[in-house]
């Protein structure tokens, strides 16, 4: 109950932050660029999955969504750290882990909403493209994959949320976010299972659902889940240790 109350408070605070809602529009960047690419340079051959691969399963998965969630995580922690408002929260009292998980739930909900906007944008631009027939089966595939990406990416970003909780400033968490996101896209072709974001890509592209992703290594879903789980537990422990030291 206390967690839900904290979650409600977080959304009330976010309501006044225009930049948070502006970041949501970045969900339409890749659908729009994919539209331009396939309109004027390439040909999908009428295959919607090829279009969705570019509009939702490529740069959005590896770069855009992780960077957006990293910035959001930093913003969620920054103001309270900057003005030392945590002292007032601990007096209430508020459980330190409830405080941390309320931030995580905001990131999770935002991530799912971001990917729903991406899915809607992908469908609209694929229709505008003209040579892709509207098919409910492919649309449901897109929505299912976007929801998977939204949920799993939020868990894969737990290390960034923990780092943001440990810092009073925003420069280091944002810098780490950029390195973290780009490292995830690079490592996916080297050793997929040592980075949460590349492990997330394995889960999303399992069974060869998305052509061109993870076709060079043996797919091991339990190993990918284990990688995300280990990083997530380590992040929660780090956040717990950091917040416990704050009086």
**What are the angstrom distances between the C-alpha of 35 and each of 40, 48, 90?**
8, 12, 50
Model-level pTM?
0.88
pLDDT in tens, the chain (247 residues): 677 787 788 788 777 778 888 899 999 999 999 999 888 887 777 788 888 888 888 888 889 999 999 999 998 888 777 666 666 666 666 777 888 888 999 999 999 999 999 999 999 998 888 777 778 888 999 999 999 999 999 999 999 999 988 877 788 888 999 999 888 877 767 777 888 988 888 888 887 777 666 555 667 889 989 999 999 999 999 988 888 776 6
Residue entry with tokens 């009073």: 168
């Amino acid at each position: 109950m206390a967690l839900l109350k904290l979650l409600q408070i977080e959304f009330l605070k976010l309501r006044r932050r225009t930049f948070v809602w502006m970041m949501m529009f970045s969900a339409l960047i890749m659908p729009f660029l994919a539209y331009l690419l396939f309109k004027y340079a390439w040909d999908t051959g009428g295959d919607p999955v090829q279009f969705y691969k570019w509009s939702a399963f490529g740069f959005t998965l590896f770069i855009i969504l992780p960077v957006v969630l990293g910035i959001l995580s930093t913003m969620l922690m920054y103001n309270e750290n900057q003005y030392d408002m945590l002292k007032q929260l601990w007096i209430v009292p508020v459980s330190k882990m409830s405080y941390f998980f309320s931030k995580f739930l905001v990131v999770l909900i935002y991530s799912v909403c971001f990917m729903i906007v991406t899915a809607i944008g992908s469908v609209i631009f694929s229709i505008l493209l003209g040579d892709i027939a509207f098919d409910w089966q492919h649309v449901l595939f897109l929505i299912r994959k976007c929801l998977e990406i939204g949920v799993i990416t939020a868990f894969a970003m737990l290390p960034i949320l923990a780092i943001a909780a440990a810092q009073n400033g925003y420069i280091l968490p944002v810098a780490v976010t950029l390195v973290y996101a780009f490292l995830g896209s690079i490592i996916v072709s080297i050793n997929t299972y040592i980075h949460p974001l590349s492990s997330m890509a394995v889960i999303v592209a399992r069974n060869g659902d998305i052509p061109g992703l993870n076709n060079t290594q043996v797919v091991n879903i339990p190993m990918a889940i284990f990688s995300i789980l280990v990083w997530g537990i380590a992040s929660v422990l780090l956040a717990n240790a950091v917040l416990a030291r704050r009086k």
